[in-house]
Amino acid sequence: MSPETQSLLQVTGLVKRFGGFRALDGLQLHLNAGEILGLVGPNGSGKTTCINVISGLYAPDGGAIRLDDKSIGGLPSHRLVHAGINRTFQVPKPFLTMTVLQNVEVSIAYGGHAGEGLDPRHLLTLLELESHAERPAAELNSVQQKLLDLARALATKPRILLVDELAAGLNPAELEKIAAKLKEFARSGMAILVVEHLMGFIAQVTDRIVVMNAGKEIFEGVLNDAIRNPRVVEVFLGQDDAA
Amino acid sequence: MLTYTLLAGLLFGLYFTLIGLGLNLVFGVMRIVNLAHGDFLMLGAFLAFWLFSLFAINPIPTIPVAFIVFLLVGFPLYYLIVPRLLRAKDPEMLSFILFFGLSQVIQALATILWGTSERSIPGGQLGRAVAAILSFVTGRTVENGPVDIFGQSFPAAWVASGIASGIGVLLVYWYLYRTKLGYLTRAVMVSRDEAIASGIDVDRISAIAFGFGLGLAAVAGVFAPFLLGSITPAMGAEVTITSFAVIVIGSLGNPLGTLLGGLVYGISYMFMQSYYSSWANLLPYLLLIAVLLLRPSGLLGRQTRRA
Amino acid sequence: MHKLGRDVFLILVPVVAAFALLPSVYSNQLLLFNFIIFIVLAQGVNVIYGFTGYLPFGYVGFFGAGAYGFSLMVLHLQAPPFLAIVVGASAALVLALMLTPLFRLSGAYFSIANLAAALAVLQIVANPNLEDYTRGPYGISLSGVFNPRLAYAAALAVLAATLFIVIFLRHSKFGLALQAIREDTISAGMAGINVVRERVIAWLLSALIAGLAGSVFAWYASVFYPETVFSGEFTIFAIVFALFGGTATVVGPILGVVILYGIYNAVGISTPQYFQLIYGALIVGLVLFLPNGLVSLVRRWGIDVP
């Protein structure tokens, strides 16, 4: 990739404070179209906060987020959705009182021009939820609710998809299928950021990873290099093992 | 006129503090807005009225009686209603509606039992007790009648309620910050979930706090016939709104905040009465809205974490 | 969308027709008129609470604004009633717009602030200093336009419009969006919903409904005090009827009004405190055992209630 190519999403010096606590402390990363970037790090390093800020749940306290070289930091979520960003939640947040189909229909109806005319049942079939279409979302098990979250995010035809700890609770067969689907989305041009604890899934799916600690990135590159990096090892396993 | 307005505002404000104390405690511990707060105050007022009318008991000894009676009512009432409520999907709104229903039930029962006519207790009753206390404290014989403060004359009842309110604030503060039970209560106030995880019997603590809240409302009720004029079964609604304004102005959860809120409210109210009396009725509502919109965490500022 | 047509045919038409025909067989037209008003108000509460989860404890403020908007047009400008109704409804909309900052507040705070706002409006309207404009505490008297037959017809029109709005909400994507907002504003945002804007639209619709009801009420009654049209009883009844029947549906509030307001007229007028006891106890029971109202009982048997 030549240096002149613009990244689709550029995050520079991102800061987010909660009271006195700096959850994000000058985070720097970029995401290109068609690639899957893994975001890993110990608990509390700021991975979910990063997604929360990029997707508009919080406004940044400092730094910049640029999409297509336009600043988007601080915009409300619905504007970001219309600009082509969407996400899944660590603990799924479907609309429990609506049916599975209605959950997706709402996103199609309000997700902006990109998703107009999408067939909700097609999306459900893609994620093997079509048999549950008329059931209330509350009746789904947690894995199905995660997939519903994903369907809802896809229904707005995002150019950037932020995935927050999708792998937890999925069995190896399901992980295989999801990994394949994510790679397919990436091949069609979607940029995907995967926050994950499960290193196996990261290995399966990502092209490149960023390791975070205490609100900043401490490594950026491929997974194989990361595990050999002493700082990364120290952050995950403690000082003795780094030596 | 200015001195009078200021001092009257302070005294009146202290009474509003007393009214708000119970509501603040309940909200701080359970995040529940007790819409029936004013109605429990009304019950305390009627308790004082009936004890006086039927048994000629002076309101002062009625105070501890009212407190204990409603503490004992509140404790089981909590267990009856609240644990179930907190398990629901939207406990804040549901409890709001439930206590609204409770408020209507209390009002209806009171109207059925006692009718809608206004009742009152002669102000002299409180005056005698105040005079006795002041005589005891100052060593001089104090006459029953209006009390002189800085050259301004106030009904003894206002002074008595001011003293009671001050004692109330100190007691709540002492309870919360100097007793073990209060320490645990503050833990629950900060985070109910973490308190449960720490093994604290959150329900018992909340039930006690709830009982205290009702007891304090009843105590404020004992003074109501003197401070608010006459009492009727329907008086609760206005009192609830006022007390809500007081606790919101002063920041939720902290009894000192309620003190500040009460004083701000009382002084503002007196100033409106003195200088713009025809618009004075607007004050509680505008103050409430202004505080909620401009400084929702109140004057003392510490915002309770919602996430 | 065929569900919308079905509900218009099965619910809106029969209800409006019933109230249109009943005066010819039942002489107490005032009672029928009051039923209409409460169905409209309960549906108005339904729009804002059932669909967005905000409980308007000061709902009567819009009713009173409509009543006074209507009355002041007639009093000061001798306006024809239908124009006055439009102005009354607009007054309610203006008040609603002024109150939109309240949405920054959560649940219970919003309700209390809304109540305070309605009480403030009453204090302003009833203030003797404004007697020249609003007749202050002495009340309104509109002898010139008194016409119960025409006013009743207007009420029927308002009823039809209100029911149509609710049926529309029930079956449209907009209604779905409101439901999403009610359930989870963060998730709704990620579905692309402009939470603030949609919520304000629902709020304005709800206020419009109450404003129309207030205008029509002012026309029908033609004589009233400020406390009458700003009475907390309107809010309380509307909320209780809507909650009892079940919100977020079309039939719930209608059911609630027919049953409870029916009981009120049978039992409660002479002994209002007994009615207060009944609905107070009902609310407590409702919250503890049946928080979604009567229609949720029917839903439990698998029937999808419109």
DSSP-derived secondary structure for B115-156: -S--B---THHHHHHHHHHHHHHHSS---SSPEEETTEEE-H
A14-71 per-position pLDDT tens digit: 999 988 888 999 999 999 999 999 999 988 888 999 999 999 999 999 999 999 989 9
For chain B, give the mean pLDDT. 84
Long-range Cβ contacts of C32-37 (<8 Å, 24+ apart): C32/C152, C33/C148, C33/C151, C33/C152, C33/C155, C33/C220, C34/C261, C35/C257, C35/C258, C35/C261, C36/C155, C36/C156, C36/C158, C36/C159, C37/C155, C37/C213, C37/C216, C37/C217
Cβ of A81 within 8 Å of Cβ of C173? The answer is no
- Both tokens of B226, joined, read 């003197």
The region of weakest confidence among C99-113, C162-176, C221-235 is C99-113
* The A62-67 sheet, strands edge to edge: A21-31, A9-18, A62-67, A70-71
Interface residues of B toward C, Cβ cutoff 8 Å, are: 33, 81, 84-85, 88, 90, 92-98, 100-109, 111-112, 237, 241, 244-245, 248, 278-279, 281-282, 284-286, 288-289, 292-293, 296, 306
A129 vs A146: CA distance, rounded Å: 11
What pLDDT, on a 0 to 100 scale, did the predictor assign at position A232? 87
Q: What is the mean pLDDT of the segment spanning A211-230?
A: 89
Place of tokens 């102000």: B123
A166 vs A159: CA distance, rounded Å: 19
- Measure CB to CB from residue C192 to each of A57, A95, A112 and give the nearest one: A112
Q: Is residue B243 within 8 Å of residue B16, measured between CB atoms? A: yes
Chain C partners within 8 Å of B237 (Cβ)? 232
- Both tokens of A135, joined, read 């059931």
Chain B partners within 8 Å of C279 (Cβ)? 101, 104
Q: What is the domain-level CATH number for residue B13?
A: 1.10.3470
Cβ of A97 within 8 Å of Cβ of C184? The answer is no
Residues 186-245 of C with CB under 8 A from B: 232, 236, 243
Task: Assess: ipTM above 0.90.
Answer: no
Domain residue limits, chain A: 33-58+75-242
Q: Among positive and negative, which fits the CA dihedral B80, B81, B82, B85?
A: positive
Number of CB pairs, chain A paired with chain C, less than 8 A apart: 67
**Mutation site for C-interface testing, chosen from B232, B292, B305 by largest number of C Cβ within 10 Å:** B292
A neighbour chains, 3+ CB pairs within 8 Å: C
- Both tokens of B165, joined, read 């309110």
- Both tokens of A115, joined, read 């998703």
Reported pTM: 0.87
User: How many angstroms separate the CA of residue A16 from the nearest CA in chain C?
Assistant: 18
Q: Nearest CA to B126 among B166, B154, B168?
A: B154
- B212: which residues sit within 8 A by CB, 6+ positions away? B22, B25, B71, B74, B172, B175
Q: Among positive and negative, which fits the CA dihedral B26, B31, B33, B34?
A: negative
Q: Is C52 exposed, middle or buried (0-12, 13-18, 19+ CB in 10 A)?
A: buried
Chain C partners within 8 Å of A102 (Cβ)? 176
Q: Which is it for strands A36-40 and A85-87: parallel, antiparallel or unpaired?
A: unpaired
Query: What is the secondary structure of A67-101 as a DSSP string?
Result: ETTEE-TT--HHHHHHHTEEE--SS----TTSBHH
What pLDDT, on a 0 to 100 scale, did the predictor assign at position A1? 47
> How many CB atoms sit inside 10 A of residue A219's CB?
17
B neighbour chains, 3+ CB pairs within 8 Å: C
β-pair partners for A24: A16
Q: Is residue A93 within 8 Å of residue C184, measured between CB atoms? A: yes
With b meaning 16 or more CB within 10 Å and e meaning fewer, what string describes A183-202?
A: eebbeeebbbbbbbeebebb
3-state secondary structure C142-192: CHHHCCHHHHHHHHHHHHHHHHHHHHHHHHCHHHHHHHHHHHCHHHHHHCC
For chain C, give the mean pLDDT. 90
Cβ of A109 within 8 Å of Cβ of C187? The answer is no
The region of weakest confidence among A72-76, B18-22, B131-135, C127-131 is B131-135
**What is the four-CA torsion angle of B35, B39, B40, B46, rounded to 10 degrees?**
170
Q: Is residue A214 within 8 Å of residue A45, measured between CB atoms? A: yes
Residue of B nearest to C117 (CA): B285
Whether the pLDDT of residue A240 is over 60: the answer is: no
Q: What is the mean pLDDT of the segment spanning B215-228?
A: 89
What pLDDT, on a 0 to 100 scale, did the predictor assign at position B2? 80
β-pair partners for A136: A99
For chain A, give the mean pLDDT. 89
A167 vs A152: CA distance, rounded Å: 17
Q: Considering only residues A4 and C15, tell me which one the structure prediction assigns the higher pLDDT.
A: C15
Side chain identity at B212, as an amino acid letter? Answer: F
The number of distinct structural domains making up chain B is 1
Domain A33-58+75-242: assigned CATH number = 3.40.50.300
Q: Nearest CA to A51 among C123, B112, C190, C173?
A: C190
Cα–Cα distances (Å) from B2 to B12, B156, B260, B273, B278, in that order, read 15, 20, 20, 12, 18
C21 vs C8: CA distance, rounded Å: 18
Task: Report if residue B265 sits inside a domain.
Answer: yes
Q: What is the domain range of residue B40?
A: 2-294
**Mutation site for C-interface testing, chosen from A78, A90, A156, A164 by largest number of C Cβ within 10 Å:** A78
Q: What is the mean pLDDT of the segment spanning A116-132?
A: 90
pLDDT tier, B30 (very low <50, low <70, confident <90, very high otherwise):
confident
Q: Is B116 exposed, middle or buried (0-12, 13-18, 19+ CB in 10 A)?
A: exposed
For residue A222, give the 3-state DSSP assignment.
Answer: coil
